[in-house]
Amino acid sequence: MSQHPQVHRFTWRGIGIEAIYVPVKWGVIAHLEIHTIQPPRAPLPITETGYLSHFHPCGSIEAKGGDVVAQIMAWLDEEAAKPAWRHYVEASRQGELF
């Protein structure tokens, strides 16, 4: 049995994001779908395409307090601290000639 999806819209560092969370999908797994909506298809530190489909064990988000948006933002912040994302942000600011 599946539960109804929870739709969350929020902004992270100026990027509009929509997250759709289904706590129990097909009776066996949880699903989190993340995509950027403003600007459309903007890269995130967790996806270069602005879209991510993530399956995980049921209860994972609930075990950490249940706040879907807070957990996604913490995940984004953690990945944004890595060198690859910092390099991407710097290159985006300056532009590249080649």
pLDDT tens-digit readout, 64-98: 998 999 999 999 999 999 999 999 998 888 765 55
Q: pLDDT band at 19, cuts 50/70/90?
A: very high
Q: Position of tokens 């739709």?
A: 7
- What pLDDT is attached to residue 93? 82
Which of these, 33, 32, 49, lies nearest to 41 by C-alpha position?
Answer: 49
Identify whether 57 is preceded by a cis peptide bond (ω within 30 of 0): no
Given this model, what pLDDT does residue 95 score? 62
CA atoms within 13 A on the CB side of 9: 3
pLDDT value of residue 26: 92
Rounded to the nearest angstrom, the gap between the alpha carbon of residue 87 and the centroid of all alpha carbons in its chain is: 19
pLDDT at 97: 59
pLDDT the model gives residue 2: 67
